């Protein structure tokens, strides 16, 4: 016969089974995966991934994303230049999609993850006005959408490969893909059990 | 709130909402209906669906068929000033790698080819093995693998990217959409149905149900 407080129940990050939090060495009763509980370094791993992502975001914005070679002349455009160009062309919806996916989404993710990581180690954690579980859910939801620009460049580079016009991927595409990759890793490494007092 | 349990397995009746982390207890609901979390977050917690296994198996097979079509034929064909070119998913990755973008090419091949293929193969094998009622441990391992890959597949985002790329080219080229494009749309729709309607927890519960039943039936078959 067990008797547990509902606060002591946690869900397995892999199979979502409800488990009793034994404080250390939690192993999911259903799938056998480790349910992390790093006592000494709870947020460091996630911080490391997040900072890496932020560092890669700088070259992603400074270098050209896409280079157009037309009749011998080359012209590269960064993410922001690409958005402005589309806007001036009158392609407002597409300009907005790229703006949101490549600029707003990564920055929003940086801010939300940094907020989560800072707040769980601080007295801010007792602030229950903002449901941090929802913030985390939101970062996971919007995260992958910043890949749109990388895919678009990939498609255009594969498609426009003619003698007169050629589109080549720029250095920023690698940096940007790495940014997205590391923000996704940072979100995965975040231990949601650090969030307290929201149930 | 105190919860009394006879064994840890009784915790299967509880669900922690993955959006707002409230603790919910599963109640029996009508066939074909779904249970929502609190009015604030409104997320679907679980469904009750008697044809779950058969529908999952059928859809995973059709998903695989459309995935193959989407990868074999050209996606988009363009015509600029008399010269033509086309891409398929694989030729796009090939050209990225050929022009020296190994890392981006590698990412894209995983995100839109290897992971979606693996996910649908995993769904197929999981449903198929549960339908036959064999290999309980293997099904468990496949479910763990599935849970680890699901966050990393981006077919839906790729589809939106194709649309964006097409709009960018509208002014300068004649564009013809290939067979693959339509196949990819159907594949993504099936994929969205799967992510919306098949939760991992339900697959685990189905596994429990299937293999408990077959254990109880076994003596009857022998006797």
Structure tokens at B149: 């890959």
By Cβ distance, the residue of A137, A156, A199 closest to B165 is A156
| Res. A38: pLDDT tops 70 | no
B128/A106 Cα distance (integer angstroms): 39
pLDDT of res. A54:
92
By Cβ distance, the residue of A9, A151, A160 closest to B14 is A9
- Interface subset of B 121-140, CB within 8 angstroms of A: 140
By Cβ distance, the residue of B144, B172, B199 closest to A14 is B144
Query: How buried is residue B171: exposed, middle or buried, by Cβ count under 10 Å (0-12/13-18/19+)?
Result: exposed
pLDDT of res. A198:
44
pLDDT of res. B64:
92
pLDDT of res. A194:
73
> Would you write out chain B's pLDDT as a tens digit for each of its 223 residues?
677 776 767 777 777 777 777 777 777 777 767 777 766 677 777 777 777 788 888 999 999 999 999 888 888 888 877 777 888 888 888 888 888 888 888 888 888 889 999 999 999 998 888 888 777 788 888 888 888 888 888 888 888 888 888 888 887 778 888 888 899 999 999 988 888 878 887 888 788 777 776 666 554 444 3
pLDDT of res. B117:
92
pLDDT of res. A182:
92
Could you tell me if B19 and B55 lie in one domain? no
> Which of helix, strand or coil describes residue B154?
coil
ipTM above 0.90, yes or no: no
Could you tell me if B17 and B84 lie in one domain? no
A169/A130 Cα distance (integer angstroms): 41
By Cβ distance, the residue of A5, A15, A157 closest to B96 is A157
Could you tell me if B101 and B126 lie in one domain? yes
Does residue A63 sit at the B interface (CB-CB below 8 Å)? no
Range of the domain at B5: 1-48
Does residue A88 sit at the B interface (CB-CB below 8 Å)? no
Give contacts of A6 with chain B, Cβ < 8 Å: 1-3, 23
Does residue B143 sit at the A interface (CB-CB below 8 Å)? yes
Mean pLDDT in residue range A18-39: 74
Q: Which CATH architecture has domain A41-194?
A: Up-down Bundle (1.20)
Could you tell me if B178 and B77 lie in one domain? yes
Mean pLDDT in residue range A60-84: 83
Question: Looking at the 3D structure of chain B, how many domains does it have?
Answer: 2
Does residue B44 sit at the A interface (CB-CB below 8 Å)? no
Does residue A157 sit at the B interface (CB-CB below 8 Å)? yes
Stronger pLDDT, B17 or A81, i.e. the higher one:
A81
Residue A152's φ and ψ, nearest 5 degrees, are -60, -45
Query: A61 CA to chain B: closest CA distance, Å?
Result: 16
Could you tell me if B122 and B209 lie in one domain? yes
Could you tell me if B89 and B174 lie in one domain? yes
Task: Transcribe B17-42 into DSSP letters.
Answer: -TTT--EEE-----TT-EEE--TTT-
Among chain B residues, CA nearest to A90: B168
A4/B4 Cα distance (integer angstroms): 7
Give contacts of A177 with chain B, Cβ < 8 Å: 103-104, 107
Contacts of A92 (CB under 8 A, 6+ apart): none
Contact yes or no for B200 and A16 at CB 8 A: yes
Among chain A residues, CA nearest to B160: A148
Could you tell me if B211 and B110 lie in one domain? yes
Could you tell me if B152 and B67 lie in one domain? yes
Could you tell me if B8 and B81 lie in one domain? no
Structure tokens at B121: 């193969």
| Res. A55: pLDDT tops 90 | yes
Lowest mean pLDDT: which of A40-44, A171-175, B93-97?
A40-44
Could you tell me if B36 and B133 lie in one domain? no
- Interface subset of B 22-41, CB within 8 angstroms of A: 22-23, 41
pLDDT of res. B221:
43
B12/B19 Cα distance (integer angstroms): 19
Could you tell me if B157 and B61 lie in one domain? yes
Contact yes or no for A169 and B99 at CB 8 A: yes
Mean pLDDT in residue range A42-49: 84
By Cβ distance, the residue of B4, B144, B168 closest to A31 is B144
CB pairs < 8 Å spanning A and B? 196
Could you tell me if B15 and B84 lie in one domain? no
Percent of chain A with pLDDT over 90: 10
Does residue B192 sit at the A interface (CB-CB below 8 Å)? no
Contacts of A188 (CB under 8 A, 6+ apart): B151
Contact yes or no for A134 and B7 at CB 8 A: no
> Which of helix, strand or coil describes residue B6?
coil
């Amino acid at each position: 016969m067990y008797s547990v407080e509902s606060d002591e129940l946690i869900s397995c990050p892999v199979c979502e089974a409800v488990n009793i939090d034994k404080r250390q060495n939690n192993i999911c009763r259903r799938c056998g995966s480790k349910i992390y509980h790093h006592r000494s370094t709870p947020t460091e791993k996630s911080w490391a991934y997040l900072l890496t992502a932020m560092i890669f975001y700088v070259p992603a914005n400074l270098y050209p994303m896409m280079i157009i070679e037309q009749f011998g002349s080359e012209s590269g455009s960064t993410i922001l230049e690409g958005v402005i160009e589309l806007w001036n062309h009158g392609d407002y919806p597409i300009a907005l999609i790229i703006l949101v996916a490549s600029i707003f989404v990564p920055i929003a993710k940086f801010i939300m993850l940094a907020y989560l990581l800072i707040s769980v180690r601080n007295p801010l954690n007792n602030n229950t006005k903002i449901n941090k579980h929802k913030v985390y859910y939101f970062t996971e939801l919007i995260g992958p959408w910043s890949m749109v620009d990388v895919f678009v460049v990939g498609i255009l580079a594969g498609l426009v490969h003619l003698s007169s016009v050629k589109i080549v991927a720029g250095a920023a595409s690698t940096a940007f893909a790495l940014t997205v990759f590391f923000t996704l890793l940072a979100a995965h490494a975040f231990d949601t059990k650090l969030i307290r007092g929201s149930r | 709130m105190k919860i009394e349990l006879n064994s840890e397995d009784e915790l299967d009746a509880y669900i922690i909402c993955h959006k707002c982390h409230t603790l919910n207890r599963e109640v029996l609901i009508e066939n074909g209906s779904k249970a929502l979390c609190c009015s604030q977050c409104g997320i679907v917690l679980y469904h009750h669906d008697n044809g779950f296994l058969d529908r999952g198996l059928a859809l995973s097979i059709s998903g695989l068929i459309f995935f193959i079509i989407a990868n074999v034929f050209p996606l988009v064909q363009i015509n600029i000033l008399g010269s033509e070119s086309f891409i398929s998913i694989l030729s796009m990755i090939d050209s990225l790698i050929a022009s020296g973008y190994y890392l981006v090419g590698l990412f894209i091949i995983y995100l839109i080819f290897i992971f979606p293929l693996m996910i649908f193969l995993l769904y197929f094998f999981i449903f198929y093995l549960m339908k036959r009622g064999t290999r309980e441990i293997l099904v468990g391992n496949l479910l763990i693998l599935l849970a680890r890959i699901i966050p990393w597949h981006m077919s839906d985002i790729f589809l939106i990217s194709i649309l964006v790329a097409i709009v960018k080219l509208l002014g300068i080229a004649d564009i013809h959409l290939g067979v693959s494009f339509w196949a990819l749309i159907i594949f993504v729709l099936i994929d969205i149905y799967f992510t919306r309607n098949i939760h991992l927890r339900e697959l685990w519960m189905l596994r429990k149900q299937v293999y408990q039943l077959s254990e109880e039936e076994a003596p009857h078959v022998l006797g």
